[in-house]
Structure 1
Amino acid sequence: MSAVALAKPLMRGLLAKRLRFHLAVAFTLAFSVAGAFKFAVCDSRKRAYADFYKRYDAMKEFEAMREAGIFESVKPKKGSK
């Protein structure tokens, strides 16, 4: 039986070395996920709101709600209902 000497693990600076690696990976993943979310969700949502308000007529919508009797403080126009 021969005695095999195992190398001792390097413990000095191990935390700092592992922390540098894990911080780099964490920041890379965080920025990539944030960028993907911005392009996939935020930009499409902004585009959808812009398209909606291009065609939205507030006065037409108000008149439709007033004719339906939704508002208690606004009377319908004369001649309707």
Structure 2
Amino acid sequence: MVPNTTDATEFIENLRNCPKSGLHNPIKNVDRYVMLGDVCAKSAELMRDPEIELFFAKLIQRVMPKSINQCLGEVRVTKSLS
């Protein structure tokens, strides 16, 4: 079944309900900023597990033509920054 793309009322209504600014602004939406910080901290913590470290390296390798050692290096640098 193909959706009716000529009827944009639902899309327009969703636009009206979305704030014009501040959705990702850390000053206007502090709770979201803190939540994303927690996500980053948890990700860095999980990357200490060699299996998860390899998983992230393989994710990088899917989108970049790099060796596994180069990708592991990127993951290790990233986790050392947090």
**TM-score, normalising length: structure 1:** 0.28
Higher RCO (C-alpha 8 Å, min separation 6): 2
- Rg larger in structure: 1
**TM-score, normalising length: structure 2:** 0.28
